[in-house]
Amino acid sequence: MLCTLFAAFCLFQPPDGWELSNPKTPSQHSICGFLDTSRSGFCPSLHLTYEKTSCSIEKYLEVVSNTAKSKRQKWRRMGTVKTQSGLAHLAEIEVCHSLGKVCLLQAILPADGEVHILTAGALKRDLAKCAPIFHKAFQSMRVIEDLIPLSRNPDELYSSWQKREEDPESYSKAVMKENALGAVYQIQLMRFK
Amino acid sequence: MNQSMKRFMQILLPLAFLVAPLRADNAECLEAALDEMNDFYRTGAGCEDGIFNAISASMLGWGVGLFAGIALLTGLIHNAHQDSTTSNNSSK
């Protein structure tokens, strides 16, 4: 179905109560982001991005590390984290900020010529509180080749996806019904409207 | 003049036929090399965007909080100022 157009889709489970962030300058690599707005000051966040790459994961990590170092960011590998679609490489980036030191954790999951990156950010002093939440989100990452078979009503969703150009409203309504699989699933469906 | 021009063209045309495909090949190679170079320099853009989004979105939340704080403080100061003016008037 959708896999004929796109290689893979990454899904993850954002923490309960976190709000969907609406980036002012969305990039072509950005998929979605979530913020914990219950905290004051620098809000902990989770952002999903992806990138097509022809190089190996080791080469990719080397390039990312060199880029971070050239920007005077502290970058270090933290090993791997087990996701639902295999091992993701974990990296820690430390950035100096006016509100204090910001710690960013990136779970980099390679899949068929693409890398799916889940970036978790929090102030370094809040990291101990946020680490279990971030870890749970990283573990929930999964890469799938097709979105529609996951739906409870795949036939209905597929037929509305086929007619999405003539009737975008009914496709939006069909996507809104798919709330059982979470916001990330709905966003991935909407991206290919 | 015409003879020399003709001879010149006779040499130039076969040369042009030979060189033109070479130039096309070179252009293709150059484009491929440029693509490879672009791919290399773009590698890591997904990670960079993740970092940028994480910081900018979190700061946006902080900005909204700051704005709400300033608005609340302004409201409180305004109310306090009104209260003190009213009490001064009533004492007179």
Query: Quick check: B73 pLDDT over 60?
Result: yes
Scan residues 31-60 of B and list those with Cβ closer than 8 Å to A. Answer: 39-40, 43-60
Domain ranges of chain B: 1-43, 46-92
pLDDT value at residue B60? 65
Closest approach of A68 to chain B, Cα-based (Å): 8
**What is the 3-class SS of chain A, one letter each residue?**
CHHHCCCCEEECCCCCCCEECCCCCCCCCEEEEEECCCCCCCCCEEEEEEEECCCCHHHHHHHHHHHHHHCCCEEEEEEEEEECCEEEEEEEEEEEECCEEEEEEEEEEEECCEEEEEEEEEEHHHHHHHHHHHHHHHHCCEEECCCHHHCCCHHHHHHHHHCCCCCHHHHHHHHHHCHHHCHHHHHHHHHCC
Q: Does B62 touch chain A (CB under 8 A)?
A: yes
Q: Which of B39, B47, B54 sits opposite A64 (nearest CB)?
A: B47
**Which of B25 and A127 is assigned the larger pLDDT?**
A127
pLDDT in tens, A54-68: 889 999 999 999 988
Query: Quick check: A88 pLDDT over 60?
Result: yes
Domains, chain A? 7-144 (3.40.1000.10), 148-191 (no CATH)
For chain B, the average pLDDT equals 73
Query: Quick check: A4 pLDDT over 60?
Result: no
Gyration radius from chain A CA atoms: 18
Structure-token match 């990138």, residue found = A51
Scan residues 35-54 of A and list those with Cβ closer than 8 Å to B. Answer: 35, 37, 40-45, 47-51, 53-54
Whether residue B45 and residue A29 make contact (CB cut-off 8 A), yes or no, is yes
pLDDT in tens, B51-71: 888 888 877 666 666 666 777
| Phi, psi of A30, rounded to the nearest 5 degrees | -80, 140
Distance in angstroms (rounded) separating the CA atoms of residues A4 and A129: 42
User: What separation in angstroms does the CA of B34 have from each of A153, B37, B39, B41?
Assistant: 46, 5, 8, 10
Chain A partners of B48 at a C-beta cutoff of 8 Å?
A: 67
Query: Quick check: A3 pLDDT over 50?
Result: no
Q: Which of A29, A45, A50 sits opposite B58 (nearest CB)?
A: A45
| pTM, entire model | 0.75
Distance in angstroms (rounded) separating the CA atoms of residues A107 and A115: 10
User: What separation in angstroms does the CA of A142 have from each of A85, A112, A115, A150?
Assistant: 5, 13, 12, 12
The average pLDDT across A177-188 equals 89
CA-nearest residue to A54 within chain B is B39
Identity of residue A139: Q
pLDDT in tens, B27-40: 777 777 777 666 66
Whether residue A51 and residue B46 make contact (CB cut-off 8 A), yes or no, is yes
pLDDT value at residue B68? 67
Chain B partners of A48 at a C-beta cutoff of 8 Å?
A: 50
pLDDT value at residue B39? 66
- Chain pair A-B, CB pairs under 8 angstroms: 106
Distance in angstroms (rounded) separating the CA atoms of residues A117 and B4: 69
pLDDT value at residue B1? 57
ipTM: 0.83
**Which of A22-36, A89-103, A106-120, B72-86 is predicted most confidently?**
A106-120
Query: Quick check: A2 pLDDT over 60?
Result: no
pLDDT in tens, A136-164: 999 999 999 889 888 888 898 888 888 88
